[in-house]
Amino acid sequence: MLGIGARAKIDGHIVMIGDSRLLAKESIQIPQKLLSLNNKEATKVWIVVDGVLGGIILLTDTIRQSSAEAIDTIRSMGITTYMFTGDNNEVAADIAKKTGIDYYEAELLPDIKLRKIQALRDSGKTVAMVGDGINDAPALIGADIGIAIGAGTDIAIESADIILTKSDLINVVDAITLSKQTYRKMLQNLWWASGYNIIAIPLAAGILAKWGILIDPAIGAILMSASTVIVAINAQLLKNIKPQQRKQIEHHHVRLHH
């Protein structure tokens, strides 16, 4: 029962646990006394024993204060945020409203999440997927960049490109910032190294000697060593980047999973 529940045989009884789609698949009606619980803003996990509905577990989410801050910072970077979740629509709508997520879709199976990502990629967007569960694994693989929460399931961690050591969305902001700064440093160091070689080597070879412009080969060797030191020092400056330095990030798209 991919994405909707699980089935097991326990002490001779067939026990199933899952969401409302499991009940629909098994043609099980919700008793009158449980209908009021079905309307609550919570994730519902139904328990079925031998084809009879035996109970319900209500799961509610506590939103971290930093999550709303993370979403706000990500949006300020020009990044569009999505939440694709298997939870019911009421829970998804409440979380999207409280955190400021741009778009959300609920009650999605793993293959549907993957299709949503592929559709965004096909439209020309760069997609990062943040997830922590088994159902997120296909989407993490299908995204341009998969980001797993460190406290998530093993399969989610194995499917991701980046693993966050803390279960906090604010670390996604830091990962984006660090990646952009690293890319900038790579370009800077490339120009430091290439620019020197393009200019200094021809001069040391005497290409402009008839105009009196010449670099002694020994001086050229010293300058080459100096350029290597400059590149190394410039790379070390990455250590000075602080988590709060989260501005001037180019436009990308990140997909957040609840």
pLDDT-derived band at 14, boundaries 50, 70, 90: very high
Cα-Cα-Cα-Cα torsion 68, 3, 45, 98, nearest 10 degrees, comes to 10
Pick the CATH number of 65-170+252-256 from 3.40.980.10, 3.40.50.1000, 3.40.50.2300, 3.90.1010.10: 3.40.50.1000
Q: Report CA Rg, the chain.
A: 27
What is the pLDDT at residue 40? 67
Task: Choose the weakest-confidence range: 40-44, 66-70, 120-124, 253-257.
Answer: 253-257
Pair 43, 56: CB distance under 8 Å: no
Task: For the chain, give the percent of residues with pLDDT over 70.
Answer: 85
List the end-to-end C-alpha distance of the chain, in Å, as a whole number.
21
Residue 81 CB contacts under 8 Å (≥ 6 apart), including other chains: 71, 74, 75, 100, 101, 102, 103, 254, 255, 256
Residue 76 CA to residue 81 CA, distance in Å, equals 11
pLDDT-derived band at 74, boundaries 50, 70, 90: very high
What is the pLDDT at residue 16? 92
Pair 164, 172: CB distance under 8 Å: yes
Pair 103, 230: CB distance under 8 Å: no
pLDDT-derived band at 127, boundaries 50, 70, 90: very high
Beta strands in 113-249 (DSSP E): 127-131, 145-149, 162-164
Helix axes 170-204, 65-76, angle to 10 degrees: 40
Residue 120 CB contacts under 8 Å (≥ 6 apart), including other chains: 82, 127, 253, 255
pLDDT greater at residue 15 or residue 22: 15
Whether 5 has a pLDDT exceeding 80, the answer reads yes
Residue 14 CB contacts under 8 Å (≥ 6 apart), including other chains: 7, 8, 49, 50, 51
Instruction: Report the residue count for the chain.
Output: 258
Segment of 140-144, 155-159, 229-233 carrying the highest mean pLDDT: 140-144
What is the pLDDT at residue 94? 86
The overall longest dimension of the chain from CA atoms, in Å, is 99
pTM, entire model: 0.66
Q: What is the DSSP letter of 145?
A: E
**What is the enclosing helix (H) or strand (E) of 35?**
helix 32-38
Whether 168 has a pLDDT exceeding 70, the answer reads yes
Residue 192 CA to residue 200 CA, distance in Å, equals 12
Model confidence pLDDT, tens digit, residues 89-117: 888 888 899 899 999 999 888 899 999 99
Whether 251 has a pLDDT exceeding 90, the answer reads no
Cα-Cα-Cα-Cα torsion 139, 140, 144, 145, nearest 10 degrees, comes to 150
Which residue has tokens 């789609």? 21
Tokens representing residue 112 in the block: 């549907």
What is the pLDDT at residue 250? 37
Cα-Cα-Cα-Cα torsion 99, 100, 105, 109, nearest 10 degrees, comes to -40
Tokens representing residue 160 in the block: 């991701």
Map out the domains of the chain as residue ranges: 5-59, 65-170+252-256, 174-240
Segment of 4-18, 90-104, 115-129 carrying the highest mean pLDDT: 115-129
3-state secondary structure of 150: coil
